Amino acid sequence: MLRRNGCAQPQDRNAEPVRDLLRTMRNGFELVSPSIEGLPQYAAALERGWSPDNLRDVSQEQLAAIRKDPEAFLRDAVSLDVPVILPDGRKVPRLPFHPFWMWDGEFCGSTSLRFQHGTEELPPHCTGHIGYAVVPWKRGRGYATKSLRMLLPIARVEGLARVMVTCDDDNEASRRVIVSSGGKLAGRGPSPLVNGKTLLTFWIDTNEP
């Protein structure tokens, strides 16, 4: 059910086009579907303190879930039936999404594309179509930029002419990733999820190279 390349949700109507896109974009770096084969490296990253959630540290709770039942953890990780827990503890429905792990022969981090069918709008609790989290020991290699650019044609397959991507106003590294991928600043304002944080909002055309 979980495949190395492509969409981790086989029921998705666009799973085949997504897999075809990713087959042409390797060159030593891939976006791969969460899999039982790659799970030990994912767990090792959690053990080193990395969290795939940039808003709250989920490393320990995910480790506990993996140790309890690794296959159930993977099923939940790609299921639309499992809610998302926000920093304030609220549970909200998970949007349709394409989740991926970054891979260069080793686990490098995670990324995903979130969307709503038929519109570019997102609910207030979702601060962007694309999110990414690179493990600290793989940073500085351009992997966030590569991941973001690889997700743009997938967003186009899902009917999005442009995607919204945000970052904290003091996160210069993430700002550079977004701008270098064609991001155009559209606004600045308080984070709806974290008190005291200011977000920069960018839009990127999905036709960007």
Class of residue 6 by CB neighbours under 10 A (exposed 0-12, middle 13-18, buried 19+): buried
For position 6, what pLDDT does the model report?
38
Contact 55, 199 (CB under 8 A): no
pLDDT tens-digit map of 10-69: 345 666 666 655 554 556 899 999 999 999 999 999 999 999 998 889 999 999 999 999
CATH architecture of the domain formed by 15-161: 3-Layer(aba) Sandwich (3.40)
For position 26, what pLDDT does the model report?
56
pLDDT tens-digit map of 101-147: 999 999 999 999 999 999 999 999 999 999 999 999 999 999 999 99
Return the domain boundaries, the chain.
15-161
The values of phi and psi at residue 148, to 5°, are: -60, -45
For position 15, what pLDDT does the model report?
64
Q: Is the pLDDT of residue 4 over 60?
A: no
For position 1, what pLDDT does the model report?
30
Long-range contact pairs involving 185-192 (C-beta distance under 8 Å, separation at least 24): 191/127, 192/124, 192/125, 192/127
For position 22, what pLDDT does the model report?
59
Give Cα separations from 61 to 22, 23, 40, 49 (angstroms): 30, 33, 16, 12
pLDDT tens-digit map of 162-189: 999 999 999 999 999 999 999 999 999 9
pTM of the model: 0.87
